[in-house]
Amino acid sequence: MRVKLDNFKCTGCRTCEMICSMVQFRENNPKKAALRVQGKFPAPGEYKVRFCTQCGKCAEVCPVGAIEEKNGIYKINPQKCTGCWTCVQACPEEAIFIHKDSPVPIKCTWCRACMDICPRRVIRLKD
Amino acid sequence: MNGYAGKILRVNLSKGEVSTEPLTDKMARDYIGGRGFAAKILYDEVPKGTDPLGEHNKLVIASGPLAGTLVPGAGKITLAALSPATGSYGDSNMGGHIATELRYAGYDVIIVEGKSTYPVYLYIDDEVVEIRDATGYWGKGALQTETLLKCSLGDDFQICTIGPAGENLVKYACVSHDFGRQAGRTGTGTVMGSKKLKAVAIRGSKSIPLANFNEALKIGRELFRDCMAHPALKEWQDYGTAGVVEWANEIGAFPTRNFQSGYFEDYKNLSGKVMRKHIVKNDKACFCCPMNCGKYSHVKTPTIEFYVEGPEYETTALVGGNLAIGKIEDVAYINWLCDDLGMDTISAGNVVGFAMECYEKNILNKSKTDGLELKFGNVVATAALLHKIAKREGIGDLLAEGVRFASEKIGKGSEKFAIQVKGLEWSGYESRNAPAMMLSYLTSDIGAHHNRAWAITHDIAVGRDQVESKAQKVVQLQHIRPMFDMLGLCRLQWVELAIDLNKYATAFKAITGIPYNLDDLLKASERVWNLTRLFLLREQGLKGKEHDKSPARFYEERVPSGPTKGKVISKEEIQYLLDDYYRLRGWTSDGVPTMGKLKELGLDVMDIPQDILEAAKKPVAVTPKTPPKKASFKEVPAKIAEKVPALKVEPKKPIQPSKPAAKKPAPKKAAPSKPAPKKPAPKKAAPSKPAPKKPALKKAAVSRPAAKKPAPKKAAAPRPAAKKPLPKKAAPTKPAPKKTAPKKAAPSKPAPKKPAIKSSPAKGKKAPAKKR
Considering only CB atoms, B283 lies closest to which of A11, A38, A100, namely: A11
Task: Say whether pLDDT at B718 is over 60.
Answer: no
Task: Say whether pLDDT at A43 is over 90.
Answer: no
β-strands A36-40, A46-50: how paired? antiparallel
Partners of B176 in the β-ladder: B161, B182
Task: Say whether pLDDT at B635 is over 90.
Answer: no
At B687 the pLDDT is 39
Phi, psi at residue A38, to the nearest 5°?
-120, 125
Q: What is the pLDDT of residues B464-497, one digit of tens each?
A: 989 988 999 999 999 999 999 999 999 999 999 9
Q: Are B75 and B289 in contact (CB under 8 A)?
A: yes
Q: What is the pLDDT of residues B206-238, one digit of tens each?
A: 999 999 999 999 999 999 999 999 999 999 999
Contacts of B205 in chain A (CB under 8 A): 29, 31, 99-101
Q: What is the pLDDT of residues B515-550, one digit of tens each?
A: 999 999 999 999 999 999 999 999 999 999 999 999
Q: What is the pLDDT of residues B253-302, one digit of tens each?
A: 999 999 999 999 999 999 999 999 999 999 999 999 999 999 999 999 99
What average pLDDT score do residues B716-744 get?
Answer: 39
CB-based contacts of B529: which residues, under 8 Å, 6+ apart?
A: B445, B478, B479, B482
The candidate with the shortest Cα–Cα distance to B170, out of B141, B142, B190, B143, is: B190
Q: What is the pLDDT of residues B139-178, one digit of tens each?
A: 999 999 999 999 999 999 999 999 999 999 999 999 999 9
Instruction: Measure the CA dihedral B360/B362/B364/B369, to 10°.
Output: 60
Check CB contact of A107 with chain B, cutoff 8 Å.
no
At B138 the pLDDT is 96
Which H/E stretch holds residue B744?
helix B735-745
Q: What is the pLDDT of residues A49-106, one digit of tens each?
A: 999 999 999 999 999 999 999 999 999 999 999 999 999 999 999 999 999 988 999 9
Check CB contact of B263 with chain A, cutoff 8 Å.
no
At B627 the pLDDT is 75
Partners of A5 in the β-ladder: A123
Q: What is the pLDDT of residues B415-439, one digit of tens each?
A: 999 999 999 999 999 999 999 999 9
Task: Say whether pLDDT at B128 is over 80.
Answer: yes
Phi, psi at residue B256, to the nearest 5°?
-135, 130
Q: Which one of A15, A16, A114 makes the best mutation probe of the B interface by having the most chain B beta carbons within 10 Å?
A: A15
Percent of chain B with pLDDT over 90: 78
At A1 the pLDDT is 59
Phi, psi at residue B715, to the nearest 5°?
-60, -35
Query: Can you tell me the distance from the alpha carbon of A47 to that of B35, in angstroms, rounded to the nearest whole number?
Result: 31
What average pLDDT score do residues B246-250 get?
Answer: 94
At B664 the pLDDT is 39
Sign of CA dihedral B555, B321, B728, B707: negative
Task: Say whether pLDDT at B507 is over 60.
Answer: yes
Query: Can you tell me the distance from the alpha carbon of B276 to that of B258, in angstroms, rounded to the nearest whole number?
Result: 26
SS3 letters for chain A?
CCEEECHHHCCCCCHHHHHHHHHHHCCCCHHHCCCEEEEECCCCCEEEEECCCCCCHHHHHCCCCCEEEECCEEEECCCCCCCCCHHHHHCCCCCCEEECCEEEEECCCCCCHHHHHCCCCCEEECC
Task: Say whether pLDDT at B50 is over 80.
Answer: yes
At A85 the pLDDT is 93
Q: What are the structural domains, with CATH classification, of chain B?
A: 7-203 (3.60.9.10), 231-424 (1.10.569.10), 435-497+517-615 (1.10.599.10), 683-770 (no CATH)
Considering only CB atoms, A18 lies closest to which of B70, B179, B291, namely: B70
Q: Are B86 and B424 in contact (CB under 8 A)?
A: yes
H helices present in B513-653, as ranges: 518-540, 552-556, 571-585, 595-600, 610-615, 629-643
Which has the higher per-residue pLDDT, B731 or A76? A76
- Per-residue exposure over B197-212, b if at least 16 CB sit within 10 Å of its own CB, e if not: bbbbbbbbbbbbbbbe
β-strands B128-133, B420-421: how paired? unpaired
Query: Can you tell me the distance from the alpha carbon of B520 to that of B512, in angstroms, rounded to the nearest whole number?
Result: 14
Q: Are B149 and B310 in contact (CB under 8 A)?
A: no
**Is A14–B97 a contact, with Cβ atoms under 8 angstroms apart?**
yes
3-state SS assignment for residue B681: helix
**Is B289–A13 a contact, with Cβ atoms under 8 angstroms apart?**
yes
3-state SS assignment for residue B585: helix
Contacts of B206 in chain A (CB under 8 A): 29
β-strands A73-76, B17-22: how paired? unpaired
- Per-residue exposure over B553-571, b if at least 16 CB sit within 10 Å of its own CB, e if not: bbbbbbbbbbbbbbbbbbe
3-state SS assignment for residue B61: strand
| Angle, alpha carbons B370-B374-B376 (nearest 5°) | 175
Mean of per-residue pLDDT scores for chain B: 84
Which has the higher per-residue pLDDT, B636 or B333? B333
Mean of per-residue pLDDT scores for chain A: 92
Q: Are B255 and B714 in contact (CB under 8 A)?
A: no
Q: What is the DSSP string of B468-528?
A: TTHHHHHHHHHHHHHHHHHHT--SHHHHHH---HHHHHHHHHHHH-----HHHHHHHHHHH
**Is B70–A11 a contact, with Cβ atoms under 8 angstroms apart?**
no
Check CB contact of A31 with chain B, cutoff 8 Å.
yes
3-state SS assignment for residue B667: helix
Q: What is the pLDDT of residues B660-675, one digit of tens each?
A: 333 333 333 343 433 4
Closest-CA distance, A123 to chain B, in angstroms, reads: 14
Task: Say whether pLDDT at B726 is over 90.
Answer: no
- What domain range is A44 assigned to? 3-125
3-state SS assignment for residue B178: coil
ipTM above 0.90, yes or no: yes
B308 φψ region: left (φ > 0), alpha (ψ -120 to 50), beta (else): beta
Which has the higher per-residue pLDDT, B656 or B116? B116
CB-based contacts of B559: which residues, under 8 Å, 6+ apart?
A: B252, B261, B262, B263, B430, B432, B433, B565, B566, B567, B568
Q: Please report which confidence band the pLDDT of residue B629 belongs to, taking 50, 70 and 90 as the band edges.
A: low
**Is A11–B209 a contact, with Cβ atoms under 8 angstroms apart?**
no
Contacts of A18 in chain B (CB under 8 A): 69-70, 287-288
At B285 the pLDDT is 94
**Is A13–B100 a contact, with Cβ atoms under 8 angstroms apart?**
no
Q: B403-410 and B345-360 are packed helices; what angle lies between their axes, rounded to 10 degrees?
A: 20
Q: How many domains does chain A have?
A: 1
At A126 the pLDDT is 82
What average pLDDT score do residues B9-17 get?
Answer: 96
CATH number for the domain that contains residue A43: 3.30.70.20
Closest-CA distance, B48 to chain A, in angstroms, reads: 40
Q: In terms of CA atoms, which chain B residue is nearest residue A10?
A: B283
Which has the higher per-residue pLDDT, B682 or A27? A27
CB-based contacts of B265: which residues, under 8 Å, 6+ apart?
A: B326, B561, B712, B713, B715, B716, B719, B723, B726
Task: Say whether pLDDT at B634 is over 70.
Answer: no
In this prediction the pTM is 0.84
What average pLDDT score do residues B19-26 get?
Answer: 95
At B624 the pLDDT is 82
Check CB contact of B332 with chain A, cutoff 8 Å.
no
The candidate with the shortest Cα–Cα distance to B61, out of B89, B16, B91, B31, is: B91
Q: In terms of CA atoms, which chain B residue is nearest residue A23?
A: B217
Q: Please report which confidence band the pLDDT of residue B658 belongs to, taking 50, 70 and 90 as the band edges.
A: very low
Q: Are B405 and B378 in contact (CB under 8 A)?
A: no
Q: Are B613 and B534 in contact (CB under 8 A)?
A: no
Q: Please report which confidence band the pLDDT of residue B137 belongs to, taking 50, 70 and 90 as the band edges.
A: very high
Sign of CA dihedral B273, B274, B280, B286: negative
Burial of B762 (0-12, 13-18, 19+ CB in 10 A): middle
Query: Can you tell me the distance from the alpha carbon of B86 to that of B567, in angstroms, rounded to the nearest whole number?
Result: 29
Check CB contact of B282 with chain A, cutoff 8 Å.
yes
* Number of neighbouring beta carbons within 10 Å of residue B265: 26
Partners of A37 in the β-ladder: A49
The candidate with the shortest Cα–Cα distance to A18, out of B485, B63, B1, B72, is: B72
What average pLDDT score do residues B640-645 get?
Answer: 41
In order of B91, B97, B315, B467, B739, the CA distances from B182 in angstroms are: 12, 12, 12, 34, 45
At B26 the pLDDT is 94
Give me the amino acid identity at B40. K
Give me the amino acid identity at B69. T
Task: Say whether pLDDT at A48 is over 80.
Answer: yes
Q: Please report which confidence band the pLDDT of residue B651 belongs to, taking 50, 70 and 90 as the band edges.
A: very low
Q: Are B283 and A11 in contact (CB under 8 A)?
A: yes
Q: In terms of CA atoms, which chain A residue is nearest residue B95?
A: A13
At B47 the pLDDT is 94
Sign of CA dihedral B37, B38, B40, B41: positive
What average pLDDT score do residues B25-47 get?
Answer: 95
Contacts of A47 in chain B (CB under 8 A): 282
What average pLDDT score do residues B355-374 get?
Answer: 93
Query: Can you tell me the distance from the alpha carbon of B547 to that of A15, in angstroms, rounded to the nearest whole number?
Result: 43
B12 φψ region: left (φ > 0), alpha (ψ -120 to 50), beta (else): beta
